[in-house]
């Protein structure tokens, strides 16, 4: 079954997937309805994010990617209604976001930083290194 994810610079070497940091875990939103994904992408753009593209991907494939990358795949069914503050993040981006102004440059700088063979435990103590690793993994998608 296809789901819809938000990709930045789809098809390029700097491709990245939109994710949320929620309670210490990184979640990738898997939208059942492409219209919901388009609406979310528009909300991101309104917050000065680069405009992501909505891409249909097989659900099993993206869930495998998320597992391998240490992310959580969060399915957002069509017609989803939030029940909590955390649920609201599945239909509307948070007001505070990470700075993404230079994510492409950082990705290029980190490509030679030697993080490809790093174990996740080695990265858990340093947020900057963890973020760099996450961005490299997003670039692989």
Query: pLDDT tens, 98-132?
Result: 554 554 455 455 444 443 444 444 433 445 666 66
Residue 35: predicted pLDDT: 94
Q: How far is CA 64 from the centre of its chain?
A: 14
Torsion over CA of 124, 127, 130 and 135, rounded to 10 degrees? 160
Residues of the chain with pLDDT under 70: 95-141
Which single residue is written with the structure tokens 């440059």?
105
């Amino acid at each position: 079954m296809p789901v819809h994810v938000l990709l930045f610079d789809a098809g390029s070497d700097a491709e990245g997937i939109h994710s949320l940091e929620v309670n210490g875990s990184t979640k990738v939103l898997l939208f059942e309805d492409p219209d919901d994904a388009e609406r979310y992408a528009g909300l991101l753009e309104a917050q000065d994010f680069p405009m992501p593209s909505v891409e249909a991907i097989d659900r099993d494939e993206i869930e495998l990617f998320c597992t391998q990358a240490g992310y959580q795949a969060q399915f957002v069914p069509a017609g989803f209604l939030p029940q909590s503050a955390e649920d609201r993040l599945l239909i509307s981006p948070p007001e505070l976001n990470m700075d993404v102004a230079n994510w492409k440059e950082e990705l290029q700088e980190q490509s030679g930083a030697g993080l490809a063979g790093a174990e996740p435990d080695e990265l858990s103590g340093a947020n900057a290194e963890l973020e760099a690793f996450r961005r490299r993994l997003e670039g692989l998608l």
